[in-house]
Structure 1
Amino acid sequence: MNVNMKAEWQRLRGVDWRELDLREAGRWPVSLQAICCALALVLLFWGVYHFLAAPKMVRFDQAREQERALLQQYESKAYQAANLPAMRAQMATLESRMAELLEMLPTGAEVPSLLDNISDTALENQLSIDFIRLRSPVVQEFYIEQPFDIQVQGDYHRIAAFLSGVAGLPRIVTLHDFTLVPVEGQDTLRLSMLAKTYNHREPSAEAAEGKSP
Structure 2
Amino acid sequence: MKASELKNMDMRELIEELNSLDFENVGGWPAPIKAGAAVLVLIAVLLMGYFLVIKDLNAALEQQQREEASLLKSYENKAFEAHNLDQFRAQLVEMEQTFGALLKQLPKDTEVPGLLEDITHTGLGSGMEFEKIELKEEAEKEFYAELPIEISALGDYHGFGSFVSGVAALPRIVTLHDFVIEWPTDKEAKALGLLNMNITAKTYRYSSQDGGSQSTGPARGQNK
Identity of aligned residues (%): 34
After TM superposition, the structure 1 stretch with the greater mean CA deviation from structure 2, 49-58 or 183-192, is 49-58
* Cross-structure match for 1:87: 88
Q: Decide which of 188, 192, 195 is 1:189's aligned counterpart.
A: 195
1:167-178 to structure 2, matched below 5 A, reads: 167-178=168-179
SS at match of 2:17: coil
* Cross-structure match for 2:16: 14
After TM superposition, the structure 1 stretch with the greater mean CA deviation from structure 2, 76-85 or 30-39, is 30-39
1:46-85 to structure 2, matched below 5 A, reads: 46-85=47-86
| Alpha carbons of structure 1 residues 105 and 206: separation in structure 2 relative to 1, 3 Å | closer
**Residues 12 and 29 in structure 1, CA contact (< 8 A), matched pair in contact too:** no
After TM superposition, the structure 1 stretch with the greater mean CA deviation from structure 2, 102-111 or 60-69, is 60-69
TM-fit CA distance, 1:23: 2.8
Which of 1 and 2 has higher RCO (CA within 8 Å, sep 6+)? 2
After TM superposition, the structure 1 stretch with the greater mean CA deviation from structure 2, 111-120 or 123-132, is 123-132
Which residue type is aligned with residue 127 of structure 2? Answer: Q
- Structure 2: distance between partners of 1:157 and 1:46: 89
Which residue type is aligned with residue 131 of structure 1? Answer: K
**Residues 8 and 30 in structure 1, CA contact (< 8 A), matched pair in contact too:** no
TM-fit CA distance, 1:126: 3.3
- Structure 1: distance between partners of 2:62 and 2:27: 44
Unpaired stretches in structure 2, ≥5 consecutive residues: 215-224
1:1-213 to structure 2, matched below 5 A, reads: 9-15=11-17, 17=19, 19-183=20-184, 184-185=186-187, 186=189, 187=192, 188-205=194-211
- Structure 1: distance between partners of 2:37 and 2:150: 97
Q: TM-score, normalised by structure 1?
A: 0.83
Q: TM-score, normalised by structure 2?
A: 0.80
Unpaired stretches in structure 1, ≥5 consecutive residues: 209-213
Question: How many residues are matched?
Answer: 204
Write out per-residue CA displacement over residues 133-190 of structure 1, whole angstroms, 9 at most, x where no aligned residue.
1111111112111111001112332232122111111111111111122333221221
After TM superposition, the structure 1 stretch with the greater mean CA deviation from structure 2, 25-34 or 131-140, is 25-34
Which residue type is aligned with residue 12 of structure 1? Answer: L
In angstroms, what is the RMSD of aligned CA positions?
A: 2.5
TM-fit CA distance, 1:60: 2.4
**Residues 173 and 195 in structure 1, CA contact (< 8 A), matched pair in contact too:** yes
| Alpha carbons of structure 1 residues 176 and 21: separation in structure 2 relative to 1, 3 Å | same
